[in-house]
Structure 1
Amino acid sequence: MSKSIVLVIIDMQQGMSWPQAGERNNPNAEQEIAELLAHWRASHAPIVHVRHLSTEPESLFWPEQEGVLFQDAFQPLADEKIIEKSVPDAFTYSDLNVWLREQDAQALVVVGVSTNNSVESTVRSAGNLGFKTYVVSSACFAFEKDDFFGQSRSADEVHAMSLANLHGEYATVISQDEAFALLS
């Protein structure tokens, strides 16, 4: 099954590393994502890079400025799929589902940012579309956020709640070592 396990890297763009993005958790997430990317490349397994292109001019991800560019460590290679999106869900308004079916993808390993936004939205759709989906908890991160009632929630709390929303329902939350083992 290893060739049909696709690594999906969500929104690892320059703006995500800027201070104005906010207080975040998992400071080692980029290193873990880079290690997973290297492992997938060494295994010649399929990789998808997702990039957010905002429709809001004041966004860090407004097209044609540096925040929208992929971080250097996550530059796609010529044979890796790029999905551009303007909403959190990478499946909406894109050919991601069609491309994954053409690749005969049986499972997805999803990493990136932010756990409670684009990662969660994309993973929910993947699960609903019937893909066996995994989320690597240490290779995703979130930002602090106020909850519905105005109480400030730490990035760790936001991240943990999002993982809880996904695990067992839409995906299986796994460790980086468990992700490596999927391609063994």
Structure 2
Amino acid sequence: MTTALVVIDCQMEFARRTAAGQPRSNPLAETAIAETLAQFRAAGLPVVHIHHDDPRPTSRFRIGTPGGVVMPCAAPLPPEAVFIKTGSSAFIGTELAAHLQASGITHLVVIGAAVNYCVSSSVRMAANLGFAVTVVQDAVFGFGITGPDGVAHDPATVLSVTLGTLADFAAIVSSSDVMERL
């Protein structure tokens, strides 16, 4: 099984929200993201980056805007592949699946944000496409949400429920264990 690290949407809009005081899960996620990325690079394993470019003109997740800039903890290095998506899943509207298949990749280790949006969509799609998937639980993060019933759900609850649901599609591991499990 050939493994690649997939780094999803580590963009400065998330850092801006955090700096503005918006509560989020995994406040040390950037450290775990950087460490996981460093481990993959040191092992010579492939790394693929996914960046979000929201087509809505007012979105803060547009390439070329401050929010669309990649967070320093996840900056791509040559020859790492970068795919730009405009929707939630990294596989829709990109050549990601074809790239992974052409590279002989069968196992994806996923890190990034937001766990309950693009990470979740991408993990589910990867599993549906036949990839084995692992999510690094301390190298993903998200924010709280309010349900349609008006009930607010804090970031830790959102993370826990999302990872619990994703456990049907992926192995859930910590950054300290990820390399041992490859």
Shift of 1:72: 1.9
- Conserved? CA contact 1:15–1:21, under 8 Å: no
Distance 2:21 2:78 in 1: 29
Q: What SS does the aligned partner of 1:58 have?
A: coil
Q: What SS does the aligned partner of 1:73 have?
A: helix
Counterpart of 1:12 (choices 10, 13, 30) is 10
Gaps of 5+ in 2: none
- Conserved? CA contact 2:31–2:73, under 8 Å: no
Counterpart residue number, 1:176: 175
Shift of 1:21: 8.8
Counterpart residue number, 1:39: 39
- Conserved? CA contact 2:33–2:73, under 8 Å: no
Equivalent runs, 1:5-84 vs 2, <5 Å: 5-19=3-17, 22-84=22-84
Distance 2:26 2:102 in 1: 34
Two-structure CA RMSD over aligned residues (Å): 1.3
Counterpart residue number, 2:116: 116
> Counterpart of 2:160 in structure 1: which amino acid?
A
> Counterpart of 2:115 in structure 1: which amino acid?
T
Distance 1:117 1:7 in 2: 18
Shift of 1:164: 1.1
Residues 21, 52 of structure 1: alpha-carbon distance in 2 compared, 3 angstrom cutoff: farther
Shift of 1:60: 1.4
Equivalent runs, 1:79-118 vs 2, <5 Å: 79-118=79-118
TM-score normalized with structure 1 length: 0.93
Gaps of 5+ in 1: none
Q: What SS does the aligned partner of 1:106 have?
A: strand
TM-score normalized with structure 2 length: 0.94
Q: What SS does the aligned partner of 2:178 have?
A: helix
Shift of 1:177: 2.1
Identity among equivalent positions (%) equals 33
